[in-house]
Structure 1
Amino acid sequence: MLADVNVTKMFPAAYKAQMAVEEAVEEAITVAGLDRLTVDLVKLRASQINGCAFCLRMHTQDALKNGETTDRLALVAAWWESQYFTQEEQAALTIAEQITRIGDLHTAAAPKVDVESILDAKQIAALTWVAIAINSWNRIAISSHYPVAP
């Protein structure tokens, strides 16, 4: 178990750099023309896989504010088993899973989604950055023991 140390408070310059990454990712999202709900789904799915309670709560609230439904949110963890998600969302969720599970990529079965036939290169790159950034945030929140109380 990691020590109870808030890494963001210990090294605020590193946190500031992570915020700069987040700003650049937001710009990539805009340039790629990605739908905000798709981005919310990517952040939520990565946070589910990583078990980040802080980010799960935050991105669920964001998705609801952006018009997401509770039915779809309830199915994100098993998105490939439902017909709730568009091809674009399925491709984005595939990217989220591949980046988040990058260490298991060669041992775990990935959902069969032809990402390249659904998304263009800018969208793939932007969504990859979204997944990279949320994985970083998950690790920051989990290792810093960010509080998550009702």
Structure 2
Amino acid sequence: MRVDYRKLFPHGVQALARLEQAVHESPLDGSLLELVRIRASQINGCAYCLAMHHRDARARGEHQTRLDIVAAWREADAGLFTPREQAALRWCEALTELPRTGAGEADYAAVESVFSPEEIAALTFAIVAINGWNRLAVGLRAPVTGLDGLDLPPNTSASGPS
């Protein structure tokens, strides 16, 4: 790890953790949130967050096939992802790739058609939070091997990437 941000700036980590707690207390389903976290982490190339949220989604009972293809959710068979999940993933992509997408009207209309205003606000904060965590983990190189409960290959180095 380049800098141990958890030790060196604990107030920042605590602030993001409080945001996560607020999202957790929202009316949004935890399984939907895990899909959104995974999709943002895929876009941002965050191995640490991908490992964590795949682990957490499986613990919630998420089907492995859905996890395997969430990056290609638009091409998935009809019904594999619910309309709410599709809208959330679309909104996640629009906000995660904001400079490219501008969070256009079609993206917002999709999310607005299946989420209440309160849910849209909570979903948007969830996307903001995972993008923040991604930037910390990628930018400061949080080691995947530091996560508990992962099914890592036996020859994985405990020291992680440098």
What TM-score bracket applies, with the shorter chain setting the length? 0.7 to 0.9
Larger relative contact order (CA 8 Å, sep ≥ 6) = 1
Which of 46, 63, 67 is 1:69 aligned to? 63
Query: Structure 1 residues 111, 128: CA separation in 2 closer, same or farther (over 3 Å shift)?
Result: closer
Q: CA deviation at 1:6?
A: 2.3
Moved over 3 A (4+): 110-113
Residues 1:40 and 2:34 aligned together: yes
Residues 1:101 and 2:97 aligned together: yes
Contact 2:36 2:92 in 1 (8 A): yes
- Higher helix share goes to which structure? 1
Contact 1:80 1:111 in 2 (8 A): no
Query: Structure 1 residues 93, 60: CA separation in 2 closer, same or farther (over 3 Å shift)?
Result: same
Gaps of 5+ in 2: 146-151, 153-162
1:21 matched residue in structure 2: 19
Distance 2:109 2:66 in 1: 19
Gaps of 5+ in 1: none
Contact 1:8 1:140 in 2 (8 A): no
Distance 1:8 1:53 in 2: 18
3-state SS of paired residue (1:47): helix
3-state SS of paired residue (1:114): helix
Q: CA deviation at 1:101?
A: 0.7
Pairs within 5 Å for 1:1-150: 4-28=2-26, 32=27, 34-82=28-76, 83=78, 84-106=80-102, 114-149=110-145, 150=152
RMSD between aligned residues: 2.2
3-state SS of paired residue (2:144): coil
Percentage of matched positions with identical amino acids: 45
3-state SS of paired residue (1:146): coil
Query: Structure 1 residues 68, 116: CA separation in 2 closer, same or farther (over 3 Å shift)?
Result: same
Q: CA deviation at 1:9?
A: 2.1
Q: Which amino acid aligns with 1:18?
A: L
3-state SS of paired residue (2:72): helix
